[in-house]
Amino acid sequence: MHALLNVAVMAARRAGAVLGRNFNKRDKLTIEKKGHNDFVSSADLAAERAIIDVIHKHYPDHAIQAEESGVTGESDHVWIIDPLDGTTNYLHGFPVFCISIGLQIGGRLEHAVVYDPMREELFTASRGQGAQLDERKIRVSGIKDLDRALIGTGFPFRQADSEMAPYLSMLEKVVKNTSGVRRPGAAALDLCYVACGRLDAFWETGLQPWDLAAGTLIIREAGGIVSALDGRENHMTTGHVLAGTPRIYKGLATLCAKEIKAILA
């Protein structure tokens, strides 16, 4: 394992321990509302501090882009961190959440870790080295037909007023033309589920770079495709993402071309 990836794994596991200790003490957490359906708790903050402490112990000059503390430092090495993806799940005791850490070097994603502390599942990837789940190589599924595909999604919440109608139309089409749709509530984990074949595709709007960075590299290293809804390479900026196996990605984009155009209008 590359030294940089090893540090990311150590940081993710440290954060996972913090979240695990607090999971059954949620009534004692301090919770603040950042926006509609958008919360931060003292567990998020403690997990983020744990991640940054591990990174800076080994690489004190590296820059950080983290969900709660923002951008700090200047370096061509930028760690993109979500200390708790699935905060709403976590605060309700719904055991689907994860830690996501991606490392960008010179503007290119090079290493990625997504850790699910409840299942103790560790997804990792390094550019050109493939993707792994608990150190076993993973690939996207071999499903070729859309009507056999299982699709993941996330409901719009940051721009729900403008995006809800085309989203619901897209959801209706997907439900009618696939094996089913799942909405677990942690985008980074959904992306990893595409990478290991548990889902065949995933789409969501209004995400942030820390939701997408690690999962993007993990899917690509597992043989999948990740882009903005319209196929462009700017999903980390727009927050609108479509990911999947090559065949299902294409089928979903074709099926929902009208709705995608409306969402992006």
Whole-number pLDDT of residue 27: 76
Tokens of residue 76, six digits:
């061509």
Structure-block tokens of residue 62: 């590296």
Q: What are the residue ranges spanned by the domains of the chain?
A: 3-138, 146-264
pTM assigned to the model: 0.94
**How does pLDDT run along the chain (265 residues), one tens digit per residue?**
799 999 999 999 999 999 999 888 877 777 776 655 556 778 888 999 999 999 999 999 999 999 888 999 999 999 999 999 999 999 999 999 999 999 999 999 999 999 999 999 999 999 999 999 999 999 999 999 999 999 999 998 766 667 889 999 999 999 999 999 999 999 999 999 999 999 999 999 999 999 999 999 999 999 999 999 999 999 999 999 999 999 999 999 999 999 999 998 8
pLDDT of residue 158: 64
pLDDT of residue 111: 98
Fold classification of 146-264 is D-Maltodextrin-Binding Protein; domain 2 (3.40.190)
pLDDT at 35: 59
Length of the chain equals 265
Give the rounded distance of the alpha carbon of 102 from its chain centre: 10
Angle value at C-alpha 66, between 36 and 98, nearest 5 degrees: 75
Residue 198 pLDDT: 98
Compute how many other C-beta atoms are within 10 angstroms of the C-beta atom of residue 194: 29
The pLDDT assigned to 163 comes to 80
Token pair recorded at residue 37 = 């359906």
Q: What is the pLDDT of residue 34?
A: 60
Is the CB of residue 203 less than 8 Å from the CB of residue 155?
Answer: no
Which residues make Cβ contacts (< 8 Å) with residue 24, sequence separation at least 6?
A: none
Contacts of 95 by beta carbon, 8 Å cutoff, 6+ apart:
23, 89, 118
The terminus-to-terminus CA distance of the chain in angstroms comes to 43
Question: What is the pLDDT at residue 1?
Answer: 73
Which token pair is 123? 């997804």
Q: What is the pLDDT of residue 41?
A: 77
Select from 227, 237, 170 the least CA-distant residue to 206. 237
Tell me what pLDDT residue 33 has. Answer: 67
pLDDT of residue 11: 98
Who's near 212: CB < 8 A, 6+ residues apart?
A: 187, 188, 191, 226, 235, 236, 239, 241
Which residue in the block uniquely carries the two structure tokens 């985008």? 187
Q: What is the CATH number of domain 3-138?
A: 3.30.540.10
pLDDT score of 157: 72
CB 64 within 8 A of CB 72: yes
CA distance 100 to 113: 6
Q: What residues contact 172, with CB distance under 8 A and at least 6 apart?
A: none
Using DSSP, how many helices (H) and how many strands (E) does the chain show? 9, 15
Q: Find all residues with CB under 8 Å of 121, minimum gap 6, and list them.
A: 115, 133, 134
